[in-house]
Every structure is written in C-alpha cells, then in structure tokens.
C-alpha cells in the first residue's frame, strides 16, 4: 500500500513538528504553498503559529477558495491552534479572515498572559463517548497562547475537553484543536487524521 500523503500548509508556524508526527504514523508530509499541491494529498493540516501572518499568506497566495474546495471534496482537514482559528466561522476578538469551515467562533489568546503555555490531560471520556474520544483518552495537550472555541453549531461534535472547555471538535471531515498535537511523542491524533481519509 502506498504511504498516505498529508499536506501541511507551510506559510508559517509549526510545519516541521507536524511533518515529524506524520512520519511516526507512516504518512508522507507534503508542504502546501499553492493550489496545485492540494491535488497531491489525502488530508491537510493547518498548523499552529500566528493566525494573522498565516491569513495574510493565504490571501497573497490566493488559497482561500482552493482550501474551501479541498474541504468540500471530503478529505480530512485538521487545524491546530492558529489553524483552528482559521477554520472557524469567525474570530471574535482580534479579527482575522477565516475560512468558515467549522461552525464555531474562535476567541484568540483566550487563556491570557498568565498561563500563556501549559500542558493538560483531557477530561476522561464521558459515558457514551464515541470511539474517537475513547481512542484519544489521556492525550497530553500542550497549549501555547491558545484560543477557545465557542458558540458551537449543532453539527459540531466535541471530541475532547479540558476543564469542560472544548479543545478538539469535529464537523464532518473538519477537525479543529486548540492545542499542539505535534509536540511530544504521542501522534495519535495524526494517526486518526490519516485513518479518517476517504478510501481511494
Ligand atoms: N495566538 C496565536 C493566534 O492567535 C495562536 C497561537 C498558536 O498557534 N500557538 O494566532
């Protein structure tokens, strides 16, 4: 079987660490900087970094519409931290042009300066939690100037919470997490993204 190919939007941010996490789950990382790269991949990651900078790059490279078309093709998309902000319907406090691919509102830098960065374990899966939530139990979540996702629409499923706050949500093939799953050794979320790609 050929290795799955996963694109990483490579404008700015945590591109290398995502590539290493993908290698751990047997996937090939493909840097995405142009529409043509989207045709070569099975899934896409929008990394953490600085959403304002990444949004400017998306505009300059003309990637807003191609990324929306990619999402509509049904292939999985994962946005992490700044990437989650870009997936949201809007960013409430510091406006940034978003893709509107997940029915949620992002609040940027929501944890304040006191606790800019911290690690936490997700709340134990609720009784009746789905398979994905159970597979990710105990994942170490690292937050770096993280956003919060609120005003979730009815189609948005919460897969992980920390202190009752949603930190990983899914709407169809679109996944958004407010932490950095690419840091550390545990690549379970990357594994799920690869497993979620539609059968060829
Ligand atoms: N604070 C950043 C933003 O609002 C996100 C931080 C991150 O991706 N680690 O864009």
- Residue with the two structure tokens 């519409």: 65
- The whole-angstrom separation of Cα 112 and Cα 110 is 6
Per-position b or e across 4-17, b if 16+ CB within 10 A of its CB: bbbbbbbbbbbbeb
Taking only the tens place, the pLDDT of each residue in 60-92 is 999 999 999 999 999 999 999 999 999 999 999
For the chain, the average pLDDT equals: 94
| Residue ID of nearest Cα to ligand 1 atom 4 | 108
pLDDT, tens digit (0-9, with 9 covering 90-100), for 34-50: 999 999 999 999 999 99
Give distance in angstroms: CA of 58 to centre of ligand 1: 16
Cβ(63)–Cβ(91) under 8 Å?
no
Let me know if 56 is exposed, middle or buried by CB neighbors in 10 A (0-12, 13-18, 19+).
Answer: middle
Burial string for 144-169 (b: 16+ CB within 10 Å, else e) reads: bbbbbbeebeeebbbbbbbeebbbbb
Domains of the chain: 5-195 (3.40.50.880)
Q: What is the pTM of this model?
A: 0.96
User: Please, which residues have CB within 8 angstroms of residue 128's CB and are 6 or more apart in sequence?
Assistant: none
Ligand 1 in reach of 148 Cβ (< 6 A): no
Q: Confirm if 160 and 141 have CB atoms less than 8 A apart.
A: yes
Active site residues: 81, 180, 182
């Amino acid at each position: 079987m050929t290795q799955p190919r996963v694109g990483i939007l490579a404008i700015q941010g945590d591109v290398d660490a995502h590539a290493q996490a993908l290698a751990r789950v047997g996937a090939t990382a493909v840097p995405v900087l142009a529409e043509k790269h989207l045709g070569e991949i099975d899934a896409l990651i929008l990394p953490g970094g600085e959403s304002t900078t990444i949004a400017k790059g998306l505009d300059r490279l003309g990637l807003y519409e191609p990324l929306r078309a990619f999402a509509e093709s049904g292939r999985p998309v994962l946005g992490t931290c700044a990437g989650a902000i870009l997936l949201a319907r809007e960013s409430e406090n510091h406006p940034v042009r978003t893709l509107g691919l997940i029915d949620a509102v992002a609040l940027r830098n929501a944890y304040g300066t006191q606790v800019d960065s911290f690690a936490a374990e997700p709340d134990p899966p609720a009784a009746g939690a789905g398979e994905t939530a159970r597979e990710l139990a105990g994942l170490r979540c690292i937050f770096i100037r993280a956003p919060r996702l609120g005003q979730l629409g009815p189609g948005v499923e919460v897969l992980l919470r920390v202190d009752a706050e949603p930190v990983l949500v899914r709407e169809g093939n679109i996944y958004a997490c407010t932490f950095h799953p690419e840091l550390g050794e545990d690549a379970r979320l990357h594994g799920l993204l690869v497993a979620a790609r539609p059968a060829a």
